[in-house]
């Protein structure tokens, strides 16, 4: 037991250097947020994982291996691209796009699953489980399992398997087994429960792959570290192309992985402002949005402490967003901490504003953004004209919009939105 604790302490020291989470009082905490609020069986599994991750992180060979696949399989580094026409049309600050949409499989999620799959491989584990709602994380997980020859089981609410039939087929093409979960409302929450039961029972030969910078310790650290390649590259590219760091970093926030990956490497660079964009949906009432920091409050959900949207009974509230990948009632503990300490500002963008940005970026730059990423683009479109022309904004373009084209087409056809 004390060995596990020692490793955790070591890990938290390493974090100190990596991203400046020095305000942590205990490993696994960002101020008052984070932690491990789980039953003992699960705690054992998480401690086992934390220890394995600390060892991997201390080994330069592990980083080399991750970097190899990021370069040759994912296609990194992703460009930092000056959106000239968009910037000039708006007037004001210059907008640069960090092109995570150009990664293999079309989004930032692959950075994280490559890292976690290589961690599982190091641990000698050949069976991977995951849970998925909209299916994007399930597809990313199935992709790396095919790449590394691992068995893959994806839990998905039965209702979601119907709504996302194409993603179910993608996962099957990639060799994964999709298990429809028939309990409760048959959506993400029940899928998470099923995955956790499997994990607690089988953790010595099963790796639970989490898709965002959420969940109990050590997941928020692991996911942040693997996504930090986004911010690390941005630093180098900004210095190379601009001779300095950007003034603003803007990213959409669901669970918060693409945003924390961009922000964390700039944590100590206090002159660089962070803006996290939450899904404002259709309105401010419960059920109309998924903006956990803006409309939520500090609480414990899904095994960790964070801001979350709660209903009248104190249970995770219902949420909605035009972007399936942002539709989650909580937010990562590190973002909760950035908000509480004012290191970052969190704003909302409505469904309609995201749609308008989806169109504007397509028309001005020939880049169709994911609806999730369109939230970040929309806020940049509002902010840029208010700033002088020597200011630089970097927007994390977390994914491409091909996956959303049909959804937007249906909305236009039904004249629900746009004209």
Using the CB atoms, write b or e for 366-404: b if 16+ within 10 Å.
ebbbbbbbbbbbbbbbebbeebeeebbbbbbbbbbbebb
Q: 109, 121, 189, 403: which one is catalytic?
A: 109
Residues 6+ apart with CB under 8 A from 10: 54, 58
Hey, how many other C-beta atoms are within 10 angstroms of the C-beta on 3?
Answer: 9
Residue of closest CB approach to ligand PLP? 399
Query: Which of these, 225, 226, 266, 268, lies nearest to 246 by C-alpha position?
Result: 266
Residue (141 or 258) nearer to ligand PLP, CB: 258
Q: Which two tokens stand for residue 47?
A: 């401690």
Asked if 257 is part of the footprint of ligand PLP (rule: CB under 6 A), the reply reads yes
Q: Which helix (H) or strand (E) holds 356?
A: helix 351-365
Sheet containing 273-281: order of strands: 80-82, 94-99, 392-397, 248-252, 273-281, 344-350
From candidates 103, 116, 132, 136, binder to ligand PLP by CB under 6 A: 136
Which span sits near ligand PLP by CB under 6 A: 7-15, 20-28, 67-75, 252-260?
Answer: 252-260
**DSSP state letter for 310:** B
Q: Report the nearest approach of ligand PLP to the CB of residue 370 (Å).
A: 4
Residue (123 or 306) nearer to ligand PLP, CB: 306
Asked if 212 is part of the footprint of ligand PLP (rule: CB under 6 A), the reply reads yes
Q: Report the nearest approach of ligand PLP to the CB of residue 94 (Å).
A: 23
Is residue 268 within 8 Å of residue 22, measured between CB atoms?
Answer: no
Residue (200 or 330) nearer to ligand PLP, CB: 330
Active site residue 398: yes
Q: Which of residues 364-383 bind ligand PLP (CB under 6 A)?
A: 370, 372-373
Site string for ligand PLP, 268-307 (x = CB under 6 A): ----------------------------------------
Active site residue 419: no
3 state DSSP class of 415: coil
Asked if 159 is part of the footprint of ligand PLP (rule: CB under 6 A), the reply reads no
Which span sits near ligand PLP by CB under 6 A: 25-33, 174-182, 253-261, 384-392?
Answer: 253-261
Q: Which helix (H) or strand (E) holds 281?
A: strand 273-281
Asked if 399 is part of the footprint of ligand PLP (rule: CB under 6 A), the reply reads yes
Asked if 253 is part of the footprint of ligand PLP (rule: CB under 6 A), the reply reads yes
Residue (51 or 278) nearer to ligand PLP, CB: 278
Q: 15, 51, 100, 131: which one is catalytic?
A: 131
Q: For 18, list phi and psi in degrees, rounded to 5.
A: -70, -40
Write out the residues near ligand PLP by the rule CB under 6 A.
107, 109, 136, 212, 252-258, 325-326, 370, 372-373, 398-399
Residues that are catalytic: 109, 131, 398
């Amino acid at each position: 037991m004390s060995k596990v604790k020692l490793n955790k302490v070591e890990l938290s020291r390493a974090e100190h250097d990596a991203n400046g989470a020095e305000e942590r009082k205990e490993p696994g905490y960002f101020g008052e947020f984070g932690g491990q609020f789980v039953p003992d069986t699960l705690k054992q599994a998480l401690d086992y994982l934390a220890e394995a991750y600390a060892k991997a992180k201390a080994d330069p060979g592990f980083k080399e291996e991750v970097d190899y696949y990021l370069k040759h399989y994912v296609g990194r580094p992703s460009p930092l691209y000056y959106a000239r026409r968009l910037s000039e049309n708006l007037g004001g600050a210059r907008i640069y796009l960090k092109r995570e949409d150009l990664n293999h499989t079309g989004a930032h999620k692959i950075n994280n699953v490559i890292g976690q799959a290589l961690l599982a491989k190091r641990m000698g584990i050949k069976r991977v489980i995951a849970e998925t709602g909209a299916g994007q994380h399930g597809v990313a997980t199935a992709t790396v399992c095919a790449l590394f020859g691992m068995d893959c089981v994806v839990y998905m609410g039965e209702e979601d398997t119907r709504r996302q039939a194409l993603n179910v087929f993608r996962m099957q093409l990639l060799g994964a087994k999709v298990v429809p979960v028939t309990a409760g409302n048959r959506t993400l929450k029940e899928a998470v429960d099923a995955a956790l039961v499997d994990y607690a029972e089988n953790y010595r030969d099963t790796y639970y792959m989490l898709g965002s910078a959420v969940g109990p310790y050590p997941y928020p650290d692991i996911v942040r570290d693997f996504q930090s390649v986004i911010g690390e590259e941005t630093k180098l590219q900004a210095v190379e192309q601009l001779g300095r760091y950007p003034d603003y970093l803007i990213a959409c926030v669901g669970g918060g992985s693409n945003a924390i990956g961009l922000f964390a490497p700039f944590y100590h660079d206090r002159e660089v402002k962070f803006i996290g964009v939450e899904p404002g949906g259709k309105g401010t009432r419960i059920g109309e949005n998924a903006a956990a920091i803006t409309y939520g409050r500090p609480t414990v959900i899904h095994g960790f402490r964070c801001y979350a949207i709660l209903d009248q009974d104190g249970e995770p509230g219902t949420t909605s967003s035009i972007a399936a990948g942002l539709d989650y009632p909580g937010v990562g503990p590190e973002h909760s901490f950035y908000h509480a300490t004012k290191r970052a500002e969190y704003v909302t963008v409505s469904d309609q504003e995201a749609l308008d940005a989806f169109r504007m970026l397509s028309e001005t730059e020939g880049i169709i953004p994911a609806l999730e990423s369109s939230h970040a683009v929309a806020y940049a479109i509002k902010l840029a004209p208010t700033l002088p022309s020597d200011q630089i904004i970097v927007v994390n373009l977390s994914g491409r919009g091909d996956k959303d084209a049909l959804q937007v087409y249906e909305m236009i056809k039904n004249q629900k939105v746009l004209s």
